[in-house]
Chain A
Amino acid sequence: MDEMLSVRQLMKTYGKGCPACLDLTGPDHGRNMCPVCGTIVACADVSLDVYPGEVLGIVGESGSGKSTLVKTLYFDEEPTAGEFYLRSYEDGVPNLYDLSSRKKRWVRNHQMGMVYQNPHLGLRLDHSAGGNIAEKLLMAGNYHVGSIRERAVQLLEKTDIPITRMDDLPRYFSGGMQQRVQISKAMANNPPLLLLDEVTTGLDVSVQANVLDLIREIQRELGVSMIVVSHDFSVIRMLTNRTIVMKNGRIVEQGLTDQIMEDPQHAYTQLLINSLL
């Protein structure tokens, strides 16, 4: 397997489903709710590959299914159907969705890091910053207190969190700091894959720049493969070489990021590009 990860025919629906669901939803119909049975098709027919050290962008408006997609990759959501292979797990042979929940947890704790838009999803705001990192390390079976503390210091230094704040609660941190603690936590076990879901949305521009620079530095220095979900083309342009555009739960276009921005093919992508400020 050359790819770092491979996803095939991923689908996630909410509702009982009917034979018409897939035919009557998607970008051609401009909806993701099945008009026959009311099922929500959050994403369907999604196939993608990420190569080692590559950063793949996923853009689309809210409701396009991009967050559902990454949450399904992080096993936050169970897919309705689909296959997911990770090269770093048993050479990419087993479909990860067929694994037992114990093995899924193992993959999630050892092989992936996730940074959510909302820090309260990724952090325990009432546990210290250091404690949050320790949690991720403990889940991966690292029980040595000294080495946990050492790793936490290392990560917080890397992400520019003053070590003096290590024992403070993230609840009292600024938005940008919370995001940096989340990144520390996600990176704690040096995972080969990092999932970033709208990580700079809602931050001040200067803070946003700081978080983006940190992500770029991690990518450059550690060669981590990443999936970056954003509705913001300037974030995508800064971080990615390749981009996927989603609408109503489907991929409408994919290509080189500069090509998507300068020669968008699909009507929806053209609309997105023309909507840039």
Chain B
Amino acid sequence: MPLLNIEQLNKSFHLHQFGGKQIVGCSGINLTLDHGEFIGITGKSGAGKSTILKCIYRTYIPTSGSMYYESDSYGTIDLARAGEREMIEIRQKEIGYVSQFLKLLPRVTAQDAVIQELVATGCPKERAEGEARSMLRHFGLAESLWDTYPNTFSGGEKLRLNLAAAMVKRPKFLLLDEPTASLDNGSKEAVRDMILDLKRQGTSMMGIFHDLEFMEKVVDQEFSMQSGSITGGRTA
């Protein structure tokens, strides 16, 4: 059994305010992700790459199709139809999501944000503190920022914090939505090192990248998208 098997996934948005206008996010998507594998998706903005990731994470409700996922807690489960409670549990313990946009809670320091992610999985506080620090250090977030609120961070700092918060849990499955979008080369390498490290530990990943060159070094399969459909793919 693969970790994730997406069959005929369609997502369209029905806009009531605009006379029921339909916007197609993605259509006819078929993908299979094996355990420990990394799939990369490329394509222009608006091609539907994020739509797939958000359907998996269930920030979007798929319009049709199925996404069978091998969950530790629930066995084989169709994420397209999973209950809200199941999704909350799976998000907390199994699937991480890193986006180019930071959505952290206000008035939580950078360090606490990372600690809280770990504590939510049941990790004791002392251990969480140690791991949070080493993760922040790995991504090169200046130590002077750890005790401050991230809302004033630069784009790259926010992204690094986001990566630290998602990766500290060493999730079973990680969704990466342009995780290197606003990073300099040194930081990109830190991300790549962490991705390779997580991969060695068995984390499966699906990621969207701008930077093809960077991506080719880490992915096992690569797909390209255009107007909501997968138009090409190859195995690295």
Contacts and interface: CB of A to CB of B under 8 A. Distances in A.
B74 to A, nearest CB: 15
Contacts of A259: 58-61
A274 B17 CA distance: 9
Interface string A251-269: 0001110110011011100
Contacts, number: 42
Contact of B88 (A209, A238, A242, A263): A242
Interface string B11-26: 0011111000000000
Contact of A51 (B16, B59, B61, B85): B85
B87 A256 contact: yes
A266 B17 CA distance: 10
Contacts of B59: 256, 258-259, 262-263
A238 B16 CA distance: 27
Contacts of A241: 88
Nearest to B103: A258
Interface in A228-259: 238, 241-242, 254-256, 258-259
A21 B54 CA distance: 40
A213 interface: yes
Q: Which of B16, B58, B106 has the most CB of A within 10 A?
A: B16
A263 B13 contact: yes
Nearest to A243: B84
A255 B61 CA distance: 10
Contact size range, B: 10 to 19
Interface string A14-31: 000000000000000000
Contacts of B54: 262-263
Contacts of A277: none
A209 B106 contact: yes
A270 B16 contact: yes
Contacts of A255: 61, 84
B56 to A, nearest CB: 13
Contacts of A265: 14, 61
Given A209-B107, A256-B84, A256-B88, A267 B16 contact: yes
Given A255-B61, A274-B17, 14 more contacts: A51-B85, A209-B107, A216-B105, A238-B106, A242-B88, A255-B84, A256-B84, A256-B87, A263-B13, A266-B16, A270-B15, A270-B17, A271-B16, A271-B17
10 contacts: A241-B88, A242-B84, A255-B61, A256-B58, A256-B84, A263-B54, A263-B59, A265-B14, A265-B61, A274-B17
Interface of A: 51, 209, 213, 216, 238, 241-242, 254-256, 258-259, 262-263, 265-267, 270-271, 274
* Across the A-B interface, the 5 shortest Cβ-Cβ residue pairs: A267-B16, A263-B60, A258-B59, A262-B59, A270-B16
